[in-house]
Structure 1
Amino acid sequence: MNKRRILVVDDEEHILELIKFNLESNGYEVYTCENGEESLRFLEDNTMDLMVLDLMLPGIDGLEVCNRIRRMSGHEKLPIIMLTAKGEETDRVLGLELGADDYMTKPFSIRELLARIKAIFRRTEVKEEVKGKILKVKDIVIDTEKHEVTVAGTPVDLTLKEFDLLKILIENRGKVLSRNLLLDEVWGYDYFGETRTVDVHIRHLRKKIGDDESGEYIDTIRGIGYKMK
């Protein structure tokens, strides 16, 4: 089996060395960049399986890098874990809404970073094993083999987390799924009560499937979680 390829972007040399050493020790193929411009140039010629991206970069910051990657052909669904020394919720929410799959605040535990990376790859492997499964709710159609979603025949571009959320909601249509259950199933580890993450992704998902105003598909169950109608 080929090694998973991970790009790490951070302007602090010791952080790059620390992450690179530990990821390589765990069997990953690791590439590093020290700024946003360099990382975007690198991705023009290289395909990665995951990206660890610092928010506070010189020049183009991590939020803008994330935003541009989501518009780059071939990298739209690249899993991104965002790192930052800033702990404000506004930065976390911005990163998630721009398409980051996960968010860690410096200083962070290498063990936790490894756990989150492994969780993302486990979900990827599960999706690769699913063959020919079509899920439907009203005008929403999910092709799990092709990892494609359409609403009323129109393709909808979802991030990895948004796709996983929509899939689990449809598979459990009519059931109320708590925020903690969704965190466990979609993120694959204990998120220490940061259920706000689920709300951000659900809001973004609703907007993309045209549910933000109509409320046709997803119900919010106050104080508990969500269900697919």
Structure 2
Amino acid sequence: MTEGTQARPERVMVLEPDAERRQMLAQTLMQSGFRCFMADSVHDALPFYQDRQDSACMLTILNARLPWCESVELLSRAQENDWPVLFLTAEAANVAHLQSLFDLPCDALVHPFSPKQLMNAVENLLLLAQSLLRAGPLRLDTLHHRVTMAGEHLTLTAQEFALLEVLVKTPGAAVSRETLLRTAWGYQDLGETRTVDVHIQRLRRKLGKSCIETVYKTGYKLKMA
């Protein structure tokens, strides 16, 4: 870390079998203040994902040519925590395929790339990871306004998304119609709450009727398994 660089709370695992490239990647990251760990195999990297005493985000930089039979366990652990993964690949045609493999924030960089491109990709992935909200199988990407349920994309209107975001941020708690109007709609005049009921019905049709529970004389709460 260079003088004057502020330490970052996020951790980065550089999983790269080539020693020279691994050192170069780690040095670039540490100069930007990241806590950086290095491994040349999935076996050596896995203990860092099992450390329950350190809950900080772990971003993984992964050589896409590593054996998939080994990488799957590591990527599954990253997916459980919504930790981002940056794949390094030599083939531009692989990017879309790599991004579709797991339901987690990920991107791919094609060799060769500059230190600036690396850091831009890392920062964008961390921003994406911070924008994710999850409730059971439901995931909201508040940065791009995308919703998935058990990995399947759902199409919501902007108002439906805003309403669902409020409910996801208060899991298991009842939210009054008045609060939903203020937060999701920005209304100050709270005389008409029927519009909330209409949008809740639309959300139920898309998410499943049992996902949003009516709380008598109060409002609604999200109920995800």
* Contact residue 88 and residue 111 of structure 2 kept, 8 A: yes
Task: Summarize deviations over 1:8-40 as a string: whole Å, max 9, x none.
Answer: 100011111111111111111110100122112
SS in 2 for 1:98: coil
TM-score, normalisation: structure 1: 0.52
Q: Could you say which residue in structure 2 is the equivalent of 1:148?
A: 134
* Aligned amino acid, residue 97 of structure 1: L
Task: Summarize deviations over 1:192-225 as a string: whole Å, max 9, x none.
Answer: xxxxxxxxxxxxxxxxxxxxxxxx85xxxxxxxx
Q: Which runs of 5+ in 1 are unaligned?
A: 128-143, 150-154, 175-215, 218-229
Distance 1:22 1:43, change over 3 A: same
Q: Could you say which residue in structure 1 is the equivalent of 2:125?
A: 120
Q: Could you say which residue in structure 1 is the equivalent of 2:100?
A: 96
Whether 1:21 aligns to 2:27 is yes
* Contact residue 76 and residue 159 of structure 1 kept, 8 A: no
Distance in 2 (alpha carbons) for counterparts of 1:148 and 1:106: 33
Range with greater deviation from structure 2 (112-121 or 156-165): 156-165
TM-score, normalisation: structure 2: 0.52
Distance 1:49 1:120, change over 3 A: same
* Contact residue 9 and residue 53 of structure 1 kept, 8 A: yes
Q: Could you say which residue in structure 1 is the equivalent of 2:86?
A: 81
How many residue pairs get aligned? The number is: 149
Q: Trace 1:34-113 onto structure 2 (pairs within 5 A).
A: 34-45=40-51, 47=55, 48-57=57-66, 61=67, 63-72=68-77, 75-89=80-94, 92-99=96-103, 101-113=106-118
* Aligned amino acid, residue 34 of structure 1: D
* Aligned amino acid, residue 49 of structure 2: L
* Aligned amino acid, residue 27 of structure 2: F
Task: Summarize deviations over 1:130-185 as a string: whole Å, max 9, x none.
Answer: xxxxxxxxxxxxxx7xx223xxxxx31659799952289646259xxxxxxxxxxx
Q: Which runs of 5+ in 2 are unaligned?
A: 1-6, 149-153, 161-204, 207-225
Distance in 2 (alpha carbons) for counterparts of 1:84 and 1:12: 13
Distance 1:79 1:124, change over 3 A: closer
Task: Summarize deviations over 1:34-77 as a string: whole Å, max 9, x none.
Answer: 012211233223654311111112xxx2x445532343388441
Q: Could you say which residue in structure 1 is the equivalent of 2:158?
A: 172
Structure ID, larger Rg: 2
Task: Summarize deviations over 1:55-106 as a string: whole Å, max 9, x none.
Answer: 112xxx2x445532343388441110111223334x6414532346101111
* Contact residue 42 and residue 74 of structure 2 kept, 8 A: no
Query: RMSD over aligned Cα, in angstroms?
Result: 3.8
